[in-house]
């Protein structure tokens, strides 16, 4: 889920210089940066995954590719030629969309994530992996 307006990262900007230092120069400019939130069941990081994604959109084809991402937990991660599909809600849905409600829901999800993760971990530890005898 994209949770921010896209912003351009122009070559020569301080952000571009930081990305070049992390990933090396690939000649893919400009980049588009968006903040995202993803629900994941990954065993190492179950819950909500927040990241800044860096995309390049080809001027010739209009196709987007994921160049890399930044997370507070993992730092900068370079991605190699991952095609991205951008889906957009129909105009009828977008016209009535309330950003304030979305922000409130996201805050509540993030706030409850810690207790949800601890509860899920406790259930996993307390449940037996063996099937019940009466089944």
104 and 78 part of one domain: no
83 and 104 part of one domain: no
| Residue 133 belongs to a domain | no
Q: Domain span at residue 109?
A: 90-125
Q: Is the pTM of this model over 0.85?
A: no
Measured CA to CA, the distance from residue 4 to residue 10 in angstroms comes to 18
What tens-digit pLDDT sequence spans the chain (135 residues)?
788 889 999 888 998 888 888 877 577 888 999 998 887 766 555 577 788 999 998 889 989 999 888 887 778 888 887 898 888 888 888 888 888 888 888 788 777 665 545 555 555 545 544 444 544
Strand order across the 7-9 sheet: 7-9, 31-40, 47-57, 64-71, 75-84
Measured CA to CA, the distance from residue 79 to residue 82 in angstroms comes to 7
Asked whether the beta carbons of 46 and 36 are under 8 A apart, the reply is: no
Asked whether the beta carbons of 16 and 29 are under 8 A apart, the reply is: yes
| Residue 132 belongs to a domain | no
Asked whether the beta carbons of 34 and 2 are under 8 A apart, the reply is: yes
| Residue 130 belongs to a domain | no
């Amino acid at each position: 889920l994209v949770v921010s307006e896209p912003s351009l990262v122009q070559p020569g900007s301080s952000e571009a210089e930081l990305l070049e230092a992390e990933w090396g120069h690939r000649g893919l400019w400009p980049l588009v940066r968006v903040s995202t939130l993803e629900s994941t069941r990954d065993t190492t990081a179950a819950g909500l995954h927040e990241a800044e994604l860096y995309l390049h959109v080809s001027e010739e084809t209009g196709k987007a590719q994921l160049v890399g991402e930044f997370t507070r937990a993992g730092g900068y991660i370079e991605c190699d030629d991952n095609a991205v599909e951008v889906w957009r809600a129909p105009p009828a849905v977008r016209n009535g969309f309330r950003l304030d409600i979305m922000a409130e829901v996201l805050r509540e999800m993030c706030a409850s994530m810690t207790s949800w993760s601890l509860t899920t971990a406790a259930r996993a530890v307390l449940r037996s992996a063996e099937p019940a005898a009466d089944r």
